[in-house]
Amino acid sequence: MPMSDLGPAPAIDKRAVSGKLLTVKHIETAVQEKEVRFLDLKYSDMPGRLRHVTMPIDRLDHVVKEGVGFDGSSVAGFRTVEAGDMVLKPDIQSAFVDPFAAQPTVSAFAGIFDPATGERYERDPRYIVEKAIAAVKKATGADEVMVLSEFEFYLFNSAEFHTDESSAVYRIETDELRHDDQTGLGLFKGAAYHVAPPFDRSSDFRSELASLMAGCGIPVKYHHHEGGRYSQVEVEPLFMPAMRAADGIMLTKYLVRNLAFRHNKSATFMPKPIHGEAGSGMHIHQYISRDGLSLFGDEKAESRLSELGRYYIGGILNHVPSLCAFTNASTNSYRRLVPGYEAPVLVFFSFANRTAAIRIPGYITSAARMAIEYRIPDATANPYLSLAAILMAGLDGIRSKADPGFPLKGRLDAAGQQNFGAKPVPLSLAQALDELKRDQEYLTEAGVFSSETIEKWAELKMVEVEAVARRPHPWEFNLYYGC
């Protein structure tokens, strides 16, 4: 159902600093006119997978007031079967028309509640980031936390993978990996960034995606072919308030996957799906604002970075090793964080340097627009937990007045020679989880993360670590079969 069928939509601020896609009035009007038939509630499990439940729209009033029950013991990271009952209640401010539903459907993200107490569930990822945003606003006097997340992914024609006790294999196919292709794409190894058609085979797909995103309240800045051959692409939205941005990550991944399915293709946000090609990150641009002006900027400072901005950077840099347990939440994440690519391998900040953990974009010329880009994260993270952890690290830096040192100038190999405390990014998810055990007090400030939530997260992730570690890798046969 097109957006126009719901009547005039609220104007969407081009900078995405305010506005709602659908209002309660719009939904009620659509229901009365029988233009909407279903209500779909979406929510995140702990690992970050999108889940949903759908009901007839005539239950809207009841669901808004009372919620809808579900079995939390069947959702990864939530409750046990002995006490599994939980309740979903829609956040109507997040409502949008689902472009992939065959029947006219309004969808909204939902909060998770404990029916015994009527309170929000402490492991609800969306609730955790809500608390982190509130903590930053309270501590800084800000009225908004602004976030822009880059979406990098590979678009394949097909992806096949299989493992059992005696075999392990994967195979991908894409328009840009055809050996009989005569267009000369092979000439572009290392130079696929911004490549034009006919080498770029997914431009129309991305334009269609951008239209879908805009229709769901996620305004797009631009899209392009990324640096990886074989159909690595990027779509970048505009800045949005942090909660909308976190919802926008969940929703954009939903749109990408469904649009790929519609086109008989397969999309992956896996950080390193192809050996020797660029990995896919999810760079998080961010700033704290008051009255529309960034609190990270100071026109009088030589760097145009305010003291608060420097402390915020210092807090993130101090906690990078433990942050990685949330921001780089897969074993595959650490195949991307290796030397030789643009992915960070050392913890430092810099201006315009794309190998830095935190980059101050060189194109920012006004202190009022000052933002930082945290380049380590990837899309295997739960976006709510990842963003909450980043905000709490930055807030810890503000409270402790953490000095980030001097920004790196020059080549990356000079990093170890400069006195700014550069340290390596964790080499594995197991190492990041060990760091999280050692360094987590900043996450539990203001009750944002509970110790139980952190413990459950580490437990879930160690299952993945052990699952990969205990299986022989295909390349080990090359190395050791004849030993």
Which segments of 121-202 does DSSP mark as H helices, in order?
125-140
| Residue 473 annotated in active site | no
398 alpha-carbon distance from chain centroid: 24
Residue of 45, 144, 234, 277 with catalytic role: 234
Q: What is the pLDDT of residue 355?
A: 83
Share above pLDDT 90 across residues of the chain, in percent, rounded to a whole number: 70
pTM, whole model, 2 decimals? 0.91
Residue of 40, 98, 144, 373 with catalytic role: 373
More confident residue, 199 or 75: 75
Residue 378 per-residue DSSP state? -
Residue of 375, 378, 396, 435 with catalytic role: 375
More confident residue, 47 or 408: 47
Residue 301 per-residue DSSP state? S
Is the separation of the CB atoms in 249 and 383 below 8 Å? yes
Specify the range with the lowest mean pLDDT, choosing from 70-79, 317-326, 387-396: 70-79
Q: What is the pLDDT of residue 30?
A: 65
Q: What is the pLDDT of residue 16?
A: 29
Q: What is the rounded CA–CA span in Å between residue 239 and residue 16?
A: 6
| Residue 354 annotated in active site | yes
Q: What is the rounded CA–CA span in Å between residue 447 and residue 138?
A: 14
Token couple for 15: 């900078």
pLDDT at 29 over 90: no
Task: Compute the mean pLDDT over every residue in the chain, rounded to the nearest whole number.
Answer: 88
Query: Of 82, 144, 465, whose CA–CA distance to 295 is shortest?
Result: 144
| 334-373 residue pLDDT tens | 999 998 888 999 999 988 787 889 999 888 878 899 999 9
pLDDT at 7 over 60: no
pLDDT at 468 over 60: yes
pLDDT at 179 over 60: no
| 410-455 residue pLDDT tens | 655 554 545 445 789 999 999 999 999 999 999 999 999 999 999 9
Residue of 45, 150, 175, 378 with catalytic role: 150
Residue of 79, 354, 403, 464 with catalytic role: 354
Residue of 71, 119, 204, 307 with catalytic role: 71
| 232-268 residue pLDDT tens | 999 999 999 999 999 999 999 999 999 999 999 999 9
Q: What is the rounded CA–CA span in Å between residue 209 and residue 255?
A: 7
Domains and CATH numbers, the chain: 3-121 (3.10.20.70), 122-150+281-471 (3.30.590.10), 153-278 (3.30.590.10)
| 273-325 residue pLDDT tens | 999 899 999 999 999 999 999 999 999 887 889 999 999 999 999 999 999 99
Residue of 124, 130, 144, 152 with catalytic role: 152
| Residue 375 annotated in active site | yes
More confident residue, 312 or 179: 312
Residue of 26, 123, 225, 283 with catalytic role: 283
Is the separation of the CB atoms in 446 and 126 below 8 Å? no
pLDDT at 25 over 80: no
pLDDT at 80 over 80: no
| Residue 283 annotated in active site | yes
Token couple for 324: 């990685």
Is the separation of the CB atoms in 38 and 95 below 8 Å? no
| Residue 476 annotated in active site | no
Longest pairwise C-alpha distance within the chain? 74
Token couple for 247: 């919802």
Q: What is the pLDDT of residue 419?
A: 45
Go through 402-431 and write b for each residue having 16 or more CB atoms within 10 A of its CB, e for each that does not: bebbebbeeebeebeeeebebeebbebbbb
